Structure 1
Amino acid sequence: MFQPDIRFDISILPSNIMVLRDDDFIDFVKEEAGHAAAALLEIQGINCVKSLLMTDNVYAIMDVKSKSLDGLKNKYGYTQDDGTFVIQPGVKGNIEYLIDLLKKKCIEEVKLAKSSKHNQLSSSSTIPKSTLTLLKNKNKYIVDTLNNWCENNKSKLSVQQFSLVEGEHYFILLQNDSNGALKCDIRCCCQKWSSLPLRRGKFQLSNFYRHLQGLNNICPVLKKMISNSQLALPSSTNNPPPLITSDNVPQQVV
């Protein structure tokens, strides 16, 4: 008994088999399965791979009562004692082999399409190492700059401990815009977003500082942190001096 994987060698099929139609398809059937198989398919209007695989029983035509089919039946079948016709075993075997071959071809095409799609997704989702390094450096610069800002403003806020933690008090979003240019947005834990402009290769945090300590209001989260940590120093608690901004906070080179 033949093993299916050995018997059905789809490499013998033409590369364009799935798009063959009409005479081109029938010529292929003649070459692969013989003239009898081609005649049986052609008379039924089976003109491509899809129509062949979607036909439930290609031999059912032998049961059709029509004098116009007698020539086909007598040539490629046998008349039984009860007057019915059966297809010749060799013709049937050739057609079944062809159908199995085409089914396997369809399965392989589907697998290939899925594999190609997976590879495309994997390729598109793979970020070059150089890009990852750049993003890491930009992120580190923002974190370090904010840490310096907190350190420089502890005394101004009259608190002993003051820090903003990434992932808790703020969240950094680095991504490319529609033109492929790198942009950065930062979200405060109070849900307020601030866009950071890029100047001379460095993201400036002035917009975020403005949110944290604006002229008219202070970030509610920062206000609560200061309230919880502030020292009992009457001279500074009631009228704290303005915070140091990015203009005089030492900047780090990315």
Structure 2
Amino acid sequence: MSLRDDKFIDFVKEEAGHVAVALLEVQGINCVKLLLMTDNVFSIMDLKSKSSNDFKNKYGYMQDDGTFVIQPGIKGNVQYRIDLLKKKCIDDAKLAKLSKRNQLLSSLDTTTDTSSTIAKATSPVPSNSSSEIITSKSSNLSINEHKTYLIDTLNSWCEKNKSKFDLSQLSLVEGQHYFISIFDDLSGALKGNIKCCCKKSLSLTIFRGKFQLSNFYRHLQDFRNGNTCNTIKERIKIHQLTSSTTPDNQQSFATPNTMLH
């Protein structure tokens, strides 16, 4: 893509032939960048200049009104090569972006590992070993590790937030109440989605190499903005009504066994 002058001309001649070379040379196009920046390489056929007559007579057809059009075979050949070059530029840009992303993740990986080492050296060992496993994972996780991390994080959120719903127990089960999907897209970028039992699907963002559940949390509890899961909201109302009519106001609450179809 960085070829210029003679090397560029030799490349064009080898790929598209001497006619394509003549078309570019007569317009002063001597590199890939200039070729892609030219809106219409065939506009020379519309040029009202005697200096272009030789080219137009040799490689074009004169119409009844005196104007010229380039031969279809030449136009198709050159346009095909231009389209290939444009596609290569797009592919190269995607690869560069992916490479930059991988370098950033690698840098975050190193920072996370260093911070984890310092924390372990200065902090007492927690009694809950599973929590340590979750927080000390690097950003280079497998798909299964990403999924496990999300499930554990959501379970922790349920435990911490059950009192907000006036519940003694709040549990959400993956594969029953929500569905996690983690995959690589066409460019190789890691993507994640979570689908609720009410059929609402939400994209998951990545922060420091790990997927975040902030969108799903809002879906579960943001009553004011109307983003709450209707299925879960209805179950909470039922629980609150039941609690008000029973002696024990600390009934446990598990979300409904609603499945997606």
TM-score by length of 2: 0.45
TM-score by length of 1: 0.46
Higher relative contact order (CA 8 A, sep 6+): 1
